[in-house]
Amino acid sequence: MAGCGLAPFALSAAFGTVIRNTGNTRGPMLTAVGINLLHVMLNYGFIFGAFGFPRLGLQGVAISTFSCRTIMMLVLAYMFMHAFERKVGIADIRLRSPKLFKEVLRIGWPLGVNSSCWMLSQMVIFMFLAVMGAKELATRTYLNTLESFCFMLGLAIAMGVQIKIAHLFGSKQWKDAYASAYKALGVGLVIVTVNAAALALTGRWFLGFFTKDPEILRMGVSLLALNIVLQPGKMLNMGFGSGLNAVGDTRFPMMTALFSMWGVATGLSYYFGLHLGWGLVAVYVCMIADEYVRGALAFLRWRQRKHLTRAEQRDLRQQSAADGAAAQPAGAANAAATATGARA
């Protein structure tokens, strides 16, 4: 049943992306908050038999996940149908333009490869941690939860600037689109760094909610200190990566992901963490290196303005062609007038 929840989850992500691109970011946000609260309540009910629910354990969690994802899909589908000037109907969903579908697929499949690379590489890294020991695996799992509080606001800024750059790019405001990535990066770096520093100072207290094991607490606190270094690199990667995706340059982030996620994050984690026996800290440092490598490459790509310059030149050619076509009838009319005057 958990596998069946993948389809509602994918449709929810698609509907949410379209809705956010129309400028309605509050609707998907409130929906996500509400569904997460419902998910927590249902999980509690099914796991512990509370609120009159049967005590089903892991099976109950699967039922809860599938139900919440389905409800979220239906709510976002309703928002999607009313997100435009007129209501979207069944006839609008039919494929009318194979050319448009081909263009969407050209931009979209590298995004899918990028996401898949991240998920698979993280799964392999967690396998390395499982080999290291249960405490290393538990520490990294707890850190995943705490880190989310650092980068979620940064991720929200990256998603927002992606929408803004896409709108500016579509309206041919090339300079504003280019500058927006830098402005968002400046704000995002401040936010994630402050959040990471605050978490490092209070990390032992937060980790105390999860465990009392002194070794896990020691490793967790050391990783939270490294998290101050990680978050700016993650923001650099998210900010410029979102900008590249917004202008349609999706293959470059895909290629850097294939190289860095597997070569730097996964490959070096195995070599330093397992082969040399340097442990969890070495794995975390390799993950930091991966974020900075991808972020630096995305930054250099953005500075080249490749897709922005190409779109601007294409627009100038189209304008020149249109001006030339408009000038031809006028020239023909002037020539006819001259000939008429000469005969007279």
- CA separation (Å) from 303 to 141, 176, 178, 313? 36, 14, 9, 17
What pLDDT shows up at residue 332?
A: 52
CA distance 306 to 252: 11
For residue 7, the one-letter residue type is A
- CA separation (Å) from 158 to 103, 125, 248? 24, 25, 16
Arithmetic mean of pLDDT, 222-249: 92
CA distance 262 to 272: 14
Arithmetic mean of pLDDT, 35-41: 83
Q: Check pLDDT > 50 for residue 80.
A: yes
Tally the C-alpha atoms within 13 A of residue 30's C-alpha that lie toward its C-beta.
7
What pLDDT shows up at residue 2?
A: 46
pLDDT category, 256, cuts 50, 70, 90?
Answer: very high
pLDDT category, 264, cuts 50, 70, 90?
Answer: very high
What pLDDT shows up at residue 5?
A: 57
Q: Provide the whole-model pTM.
A: 0.77
CA distance 50 to 195: 35
Q: Check pLDDT > 80 for residue 93.
A: no
Q: State the DSSP code for 51.
A: T
